[in-house]
Structure formats: structure tokens, C-alpha cells
Amino acid sequence: MILGCPNQDADHIFPLGILDHSQNIDSLLYCNFGWRARGIFIDVKKQDLPTPKHNIFFGHLLTLKTYIDKLPKDAHPFIAFGQMARNFSGGIFYLDMWPFMDPVLMCTSATAAIETTQKTVLATKKPRSLESWFIPIAGGPNLFTMEEDDWRFWRNTFNPGFSQAHIMKLVPSIVHEVKAYQKLLLEYSEKKEMFLLDEVTLWFTMDMIGAIVLLDSKRTKNPLAVALLSQLRWKLSEQELNPLKRWNPIRPIVEWHNSRQMNNYIGKELDKRYQDYLSKIKRGDNVRSNSVISLVLEGYLKQSQSKKPSITLEKRFKSYATYQIRTFLFAGHDTTSSTICYIFYLLAKNPVAMDKIRHEHDNILGAELDAAPKVITENPQILNQLTYTFAVIKESMRLFPAASSIRQGVEGVSIRDDEGRTYPTGNTMVWILHQAMQRDPRYWAQPNDFIPERWLAAPGDPLYPVKGAWRPFEFGPRNCIGQGLVMIELRIILALVIRQFDVRDAYEEFDRLNPRSGGIVMVEGERAYQIEGGGAHPADRFPCRVSLRKQGAL
């Protein structure tokens, strides 16, 4: 069966998206959208499909509020949605969040997630409503939001740069950037002061991904980084339910300025690299380079092989290349920073795991800390021997995934839960809640405990992970193109940092210095609960103290 309107003559529901001030919708059309959105849930009820108690005027907003009221004010929304999911045995339910988003089919079922992303036509379909969120970040059509044909072209253009072989060529550049991060942590350890690790690490990961994408080692606070981080801060303000923040008239001006800054910076880099390429071709030199921006230009030159290359980049190609580079800079720095913070947080809380990872680094990389960068640079394949380190990273991502995933439902297409029950996807967005699924006791023994050993367990072991229940990078054709790069980056960071420093959260101290007037500051026992910040980030940006580890200490 297909979810539809009370009037079955209506052939579709116009995507509502996340409504903002930039959409010139008159009141009559706005009400018509609302009537149609609410109407879908009349059909849901008739079909006896799982959904919370529905209000014809407020949809499920009041139901959501009862969950949000039990959480800290800044807690990430997917925490509330995940808690709602516990009321539905199949892990799937329909949710009416109009006017803030399209009708949603929430999913915490591993079986349904596999069908959505790998086994049905939904696998390559992204909701059009995502565009309103990503356009200020990317500037235009990008790998997150493109229709299938355009997406396949650009995905194929970038795939060679994210192959395992190419990633290994980037290891020296990553090691160089991580050594700068070491120096930064050393400075904080000498100052003996509390600081916000997530903010510091965000600038570091921006430098690191900038070096990889642009092969540009300029340090923090260059115009591109400043503009992108400013864009994120202003973009997140529109997610507020407070209309004064959501529809701030200054926001479109700031977003336009930031976008112009990013486009100018990347555009100049593209033009400069392209002219270098033309000069090398004229001289007969090798044009190969390790940077992502060079891959873009190589793809452009391949397109032009049947004709003489143009003196300048074609305007449309340059624009689309800029959108993809902005997307990589956003995705490549944001979630990596969050993951680094949570790894430090979890290892400090689990000293046995900390001892194991440090022993592994001593055994594989040698006991001399200063020699580790050279060991890794000269033999990048040695990182593959850090199996416990890899397990620590995966377990940290399981407990604190940086994002969820979403696909556009299609009329006539249904997905099944673990028990074989079917759920129509027509006129909905299918939202796969990674955070809830990755702590679901149906799939995980001791789901809230940090147990890296589960990633080393053999089939048949109670700890052995259930297929499809770990999804930080998603699966299927639209999985994360950069997942191999992220895993190498994180292994290098841990290999060079974890034996040198002790990083401990300073939430108690932070709360004494910044008292809240009442309110909740914990989520299911975690002070470092996740908040929204592009991807999900630790609360209050992870206040911490860093100290040099005593040599020889475990």
C-alpha cells in the first residue's frame, strides 16, 4: 500500500523541506502543504502503521516535546527521536514534524536500513529538502544532494583519490599535520589550563583536510577556514525553534559573504593549479599530484582530450568543482574532530583499554616516541597492523556516531523490519538513526559499554557485531567516499598522540565556572552528550586538561 492524502486523486506530496525565510510561500500555499502533510497521517492510522499519538493541529510536535523536556536544552535532536523509537518493537515508526521537515519514516532496524541503502531504489535517492541545508555549506549541487546522474559523474571523478593506494600516498602529509597538532597539545599542557578540545581540534582538522584537498599547508584562520566555520555557526542557528534565531534577517547577508569568500579562495586555487597544469603539459612534465584538487583538474583534462584544452577553466565546471571541494572541506573536518574528542574521552574513562592501545603502539611502532612519525612515513602499511587501535576507533564511532543518514521514499516501495513487517515509504523521508541503532540491545551485547574487543571477536562470540548495525559511514552506493581516509587519519593521530599525552575531560571544573540555573546536564549518565554542530559534537565542546604522560607509565 502507498501512503497518500485523504484525497487519493492527489498524485504526490510536494516536498516540504525545512522551511526558512528564503522560501516565498504565500499563506494559502503554506496551509495547503500543512493540510497535505497532516493528511498523510490519517492514512497511516487507517493502515494501522506504527506512529505516536497524532494531533491534527500539531502533528507529533507535542509528543516530541515530552522527550526533549527530559534532555538538556542543547542535546542533539536524534537523541529524542532514538528514545521515541524504543516504544516501537520493529524499530520503525512514522513521524509528523511539519512545518520543520517532511513526513518521516524513522528507522532503527538493521534489516530495514540495509534494504533502504543497498537493496532498493531508495539507495541512491536523497530528499530534495536536503538542498536547503547544504546549499549554504557547499554553494550548489554537491555529492550529498545531487540527482543520480550528476552524482555518479562526480563520484567517479573523485573515487581514484580515495582509493587505498592513493590514501597511502597522503600519509606523509597527514603525519606533517598531526605533528602540528602534537605541538599545539604540548603548548596547552605547558599552560596547565582548561580549554575546549573540540574547538582546537576543529581548526586542526580543517588544516589537515585543507592540506589533503588543496595540498595547502597554510595554518589556521586562513579566509577559507574562517568563512566555512562562520557559515556553519550561522547555518545551525536556523535549526533553532526560536523564530528570532531561525529567521534572523542578517543570516542571508552573512551566508552570501561567507560563500563569496569561499568561492573566491577556491576559485583562485583552481585557476592557479590549472595554469600550472597547462605549463607542465606544454613542457611535457608529469602532471600527477596527490591533492584532491589535482584530481578534479585531471578529470577536466580527460574530458578535453578530444580537443585542445581551453586557456581557462570552463565556468560551469569550475563552479561545480568548487561545490564539491567545499563539501569535502566541511565533511572532512567536522566529524573527524568530534570522533577524536570522543576517543580521548572514552579511553580516559577506560584505563585498561588505554593500556592496551599504548602497548600495541610500543610493540608495532617501537618504544621511542620521537621515531614514530618517521616509522609511519617510511612504511605507511604498518598502520594496518594497529588492529586494537582500529577497534578503539570503531567502538568510539559506535557509541558516538557523528551523523545519521536519510533517503527519499518512493511510492510503491516498502522496507521490512527484522520480523518481516513491511512499511510503505511513499511521501516520506526514511531517516536511519545511527545513534539509536548502534546502542540497541537487539544488536549489541552490553550496548552502552565501551568494549573495543567486540571488533576482534570471532563469529559466534556474543560480542560479535550484527551485520548492518554499525553504520557511521553508511553502506551502499552513497556511502561516505572518505571513510578510508578518515580511518587512516585517526590511526595516525592516535599513534602519534596517545602515548605522549593524558587527555581528561574537565566537565566538573567547567560546570563550577559556568553554573547553569537549573536544568538537565546529563543524557543517560553521559555529561559529554552529543549536541548539534554540523555533525554531532560533545557537549560544551569538550572542556579538558592535557598533561604530558610520564615516560614508562602505563
Known binding positions for heme: 480
Binding-site residues, please?
480
Which among 472, 455, 386 has a CA at the least distance from the CA of 113?
472
What does the angle CA 518 – CA 520 – CA 524 come to, to the nearest 5 degrees?
160
The one-character DSSP state at 75 is: B
Residue 240 has phi, psi (to 5 degrees) of -65, 145
Q: Helices 351-365 and 483-497 sit at what angle, rounded to 10 degrees?
A: 90
Nearest residue to 338 via CA among 258, 406, 399: 399
- 8-state DSSP, 523: B
Burial pattern 51-85, b for ≥16 Cβ within 10 A else e, equals: bbebeeeebbbebbeebbeebbeebbbbbbbbbbb
Alpha helices in 192-314 (DSSP H): 197-214, 223-237, 243-246, 251-283, 292-303
Among residues 505, 471, 344, the alpha carbon closest in space to that of 402 is found at 471
| Strand pairing class (543-548; 195-196) | antiparallel
Please report, for residues 24, 99, 313, the alpha-carbon distance to residue 20 in angstroms, rounded to integers and kept in the order given. 9, 10, 34
Residue 532 pairs with which residues in a beta bridge?
Answer: 536
Spatial CB neighbours of 537, under 8 Å, sequence gap ≥ 6? 198, 337, 338, 341, 402, 530, 531
User: Looking up cell 499519538, which residue turns up?
Assistant: 53
C-beta atoms surrounding 429 within 10 Å: 25
Residue 279 exposed, middle or buried by CB count within 10 Å (0-12, 13-18, 19+)? exposed
CA 478/CA 143 separation, integer angstroms:
9
Q: What DSSP state is assigned to residue 482?
A: T
Strands 429-432 and 104-107, by their bridges, are parallel
Cell numbers at residue 137, please? 555549506
CA terminus-to-terminus distance, the chain: 60
